Amino acid sequence: MINIEYIANKITQKLYADYDMDAVEKAKIEYGFSISFGVAIELTLALLISLLLGTVAITLLMMISALVLRMNTGGAHCSSYDRCLIFTLLTFIPLSALLNFILTTQTPEIVLIISVCFFAAACIFLLGVKKKMTMYILLYAVVTTVAANFFDNMFLTNMMLATASGMLVQAFMATKPGDVVVNIADKFMKIIHI
């Protein structure tokens, strides 16, 4: 389907043809391009699908919070970009629809409770991975909970649920069970020739 590495290689060759650099430096640049393109494509496709579902804001907040956390925690990977793209879409699109349902059917108090539970679960997952990151998540959860209650602001409440969900997904992916889930999904997609 999409050969990100090939595209990144061609762009690097064109942009840096006149520069004197070794293969290691060019490989680093290619890797940066491939990561950037991959994230941009995933985000664009997810947002286009979310546009049809009316969940763009939720999807965007979830994916950004997961990405920010992933940059600091790492996590499981599929063995090809195509499988990674499909896994990402199958994770975030249904979750955004579920969150939209929760936000439209539950009271702000219930949404806050769910959000705090998601933040707490993310912290528990990350305790063994990154202690410093766990403290940042706790601080964010406390500040947004206080702000949402203090200002009685539904936007902050909605934002908190989407952010907590993205962090929970990524925190889980940084654990051994998350790695197992990704590997099972990856093997299944290989079997069906994705």
Q: What is the pLDDT of residues 45-76, one digit of tens each?
A: 999 999 999 999 999 999 998 998 888 788 88
Closest CA to 114 of 89, 151, 88, 148: 148
Q: 119, 141 in Cβ contact below 8 A?
A: yes
Q: Go through the chain and tell me how many residues it has.
A: 194
- Average pLDDT of the residues of the chain: 87
Confidence at residue 123, expressed as pLDDT on a 0 to 100 scale: 83
Confidence at residue 151, expressed as pLDDT on a 0 to 100 scale: 62
Give tens-digit pLDDT for 163-193: 899 999 999 998 899 999 999 999 999 999 9
Closest CA to 160 of 123, 124, 108, 121: 108
Distance CA 35, CA 8 (A): 9
Confidence at residue 168, expressed as pLDDT on a 0 to 100 scale: 94
More confident residue, 141 or 86: 86
Confidence at residue 177, expressed as pLDDT on a 0 to 100 scale: 93
Specify the range with the lowest mean pLDDT, choosing from 98-102, 116-120, 147-151, 185-189.
147-151
Residue 148 pLDDT > 70:
no
Distance CA 103, CA 93 (A): 15
- Reported pTM: 0.83
Closest CA to 65 of 174, 177, 159, 142: 159
Residue 6 pLDDT > 90:
no
